[in-house]
Amino acid sequence: MRLLAAAAIALRELDDVLAPLGELFASAGHELYLVGGSVRDAVLGRLGNDLDFTTDARPEQVTRLLKGWADAFWDVGIEFGTVGVRKGEHLIEITTFRADTYDQVSRNPEVTFGDTLEDDLVRRDFTVNAMAVRIGPKGAEDFCDPLDGMSALLAGVIDTPATPEQSFGDDPLRMLRAVRFISQLGFELAPRVWQAITEMNDEIERITAERVRAELDKLICGEHPLEAIDAMVETGLAEHIMPEIPGMKLTIDEHHQHKDVYQHSLTVLKQAIDLEDGDPDLVLRWAALLHDIGKPATRRHEPGGGVSFHHHEVVGAKMVRKRMRALKYPKAVVSDVADLVFLHLRFHGYGDGAWTDSAVRRYVNDAGHLLDRLNKLVRADCTTRNKRRARRLQQNYDNLEKRIADLKAKEDLEKVRPDLDGNAIMELLGVPPGPIVGQAWRYLKELRLDRGPLSPEEAEQALREWWAARPENQG
């Protein structure tokens, strides 16, 4: 069993933290187990610094045991039976055996504790998350797997300890967790799990937006988000979480390149992921998946027989704002994703490669801090099978990025400001603070975007001409 061997090696490397912890609990007469995602990830060779444990000791006893040993300590989860500590680089959470469901936030703040490890494991969400390793004075000592999570792990299957209907009835969030593990682990749902989600997906509406969002974040940032999104759509779960995603299935794109806008969006998501520099980029991934959600609502059949989606970027950005706000995403994430959706057609507005200095300045200025992501999004948004067209678009992207780099070498493209500030404008025109100053400022900024940096004399001259041409200053 190679996987188990991998786990044994991973755990041996943790001996210097596991053994002293095991010693502490054993000498106080308590059991301690590494459990849940930590055991699963150790077997898969992907264990990080977060370690989850379970114990028969009550939270106050755990607190007493750990206080002198840990480098830092927090007890925000204590009413749910969890005590958290940091030891060196490890973030450790120790939870007392559970004898109720894990639906902590929305329905069940009263936690009841269990007496045995088995009580705890059988209440966990999936069998792959219900394995434990007994920790004693020598570190990892024994592997406990009463629900045969190892077979499910080896087969790559997400299944529930009890029947899925019972499990999802206790905590409907588990339906979304199941799909999120497809993304993180590349596993499949057991047929009975798939079936149960198909039948009970509307129950997810009982769950708070915060819990849903936490799972969605992990889903979209996993290694296999396309498969997970597809499972969410095909089981009907997406209809209750983000109906805009299945909504894209109804609409064929204008070039008839794809079965539907939904398939195109999944491809764009995949291509955007391929362009990431390192860590998963939540904002880029959402923007790639949602960039065309305005299409179904804006589809028009044109008299000549074609289809158009005018202003779908405007409608799409609005839809993104509404949905992501409802899911309680932080303001900055909502506005970044919506802005990218709004800007995703900017690139095409400039025709085939005719990037004037003014067009480059405007593109960079409008993208602001999203420039790098916008470049990736527009590059990813090319899914044509017409090789010549794809090559031409590719050259156009390369050309744009080169033009941006060239112009950046000459001007401070990041912070395009008018060549005169508010004070200089007031002095020159002899006006007090007021709306006129704002109008003059915007005029000069437009001029700056069109023509690049102006000398002070040129800027003053331009401002005087603008002022003289105003109706109230004529005659």
Binding site for ligand ATP (CB under 6 A): 36-37, 52, 102, 124-125, 129, 171, 173-174, 184, 218
Closest CA to 2 of 153, 161, 181, 121: 153
- Identity of the amino acid at 464: R
Residue 359, classed as helix, strand or coil, is helix
- Secondary structure (DSSP) of 245-296: HHHGGG---TT--SS-HHHHHHHHHHHHHHT--SS--HHHHHHHHHTTTTHH
CB of 218 to ligand ATP, least distance (A): 6
189, 253, 346, 444, 457 from 178: Cα distances, Å? 7, 31, 38, 55, 66
Give the CB-side neighbour count of residue 137, counting CA atoms within 13 A.
Answer: 5
Q: Are 225 and 271 in contact (CB under 8 A)?
A: no
Helical (H) or strand (E) element with 93: strand 90-96
Using the minimum distance from each CB to ligand ATP, give the nearer residue, 37 or 84.
Answer: 37
Q: Are 286 and 220 in contact (CB under 8 A)?
A: yes
CB of 36 to ligand ATP, least distance (A): 3
CB of 198 to ligand ATP, least distance (A): 20
Using the minimum distance from each CB to ligand ATP, give the nearer residue, 185 or 367.
Answer: 185
- Residue number closest to ligand ATP, CB atom: 37
Beta bridge partners of 307: 301
d(CA 219, CA 235): 15
Q: How many CB atoms lie within 10 A of CB 445?
A: 15
The residue behind tokens 């703040």 is 109
CB of 129 to ligand ATP, least distance (A): 3
- What are 144's two structure tokens? 């406990």
Using the minimum distance from each CB to ligand ATP, give the nearer residue, 218 or 323.
Answer: 218
CB of 163 to ligand ATP, least distance (A): 14
Closest CA to 225 of 278, 264, 166, 267: 267
Q: How many CB atoms lie within 10 A of CB 315?
A: 19
Give the CB-side neighbour count of residue 210, counting CA atoms within 13 A.
Answer: 4
Using the minimum distance from each CB to ligand ATP, give the nearer residue, 1 or 162.
Answer: 162
Using the minimum distance from each CB to ligand ATP, give the nearer residue, 15 or 50.
Answer: 50
Using the minimum distance from each CB to ligand ATP, give the nearer residue, 218 or 321.
Answer: 218
Of how many residues is the chain composed?
475
Using the minimum distance from each CB to ligand ATP, give the nearer residue, 209 or 436.
Answer: 209
Q: Are 367 and 323 in contact (CB under 8 A)?
A: no
Using the minimum distance from each CB to ligand ATP, give the nearer residue, 21 or 341.
Answer: 21
CB of 229 to ligand ATP, least distance (A): 18
CB of 357 to ligand ATP, least distance (A): 47
Using the minimum distance from each CB to ligand ATP, give the nearer residue, 22 or 37.
Answer: 37
d(CA 336, CA 149): 40
Using the minimum distance from each CB to ligand ATP, give the nearer residue, 78 or 297.
Answer: 78
By the 10 Å C-beta count (0-12 exposed, 13-18 middle, 19+ buried), 349 is classed as exposed
Q: Are 258 and 268 in contact (CB under 8 A)?
A: no
- What are 101's two structure tokens? 């469901």
CB of 27 to ligand ATP, least distance (A): 27
- What are 18's two structure tokens? 């596991």
CB of 336 to ligand ATP, least distance (A): 24
CB of 181 to ligand ATP, least distance (A): 8
CB of 175 to ligand ATP, least distance (A): 10
DSSP label at 230? H
Using the minimum distance from each CB to ligand ATP, give the nearer residue, 11 or 378.
Answer: 11
CB of 404 to ligand ATP, least distance (A): 37
Using the minimum distance from each CB to ligand ATP, give the nearer residue, 77 or 137.
Answer: 77
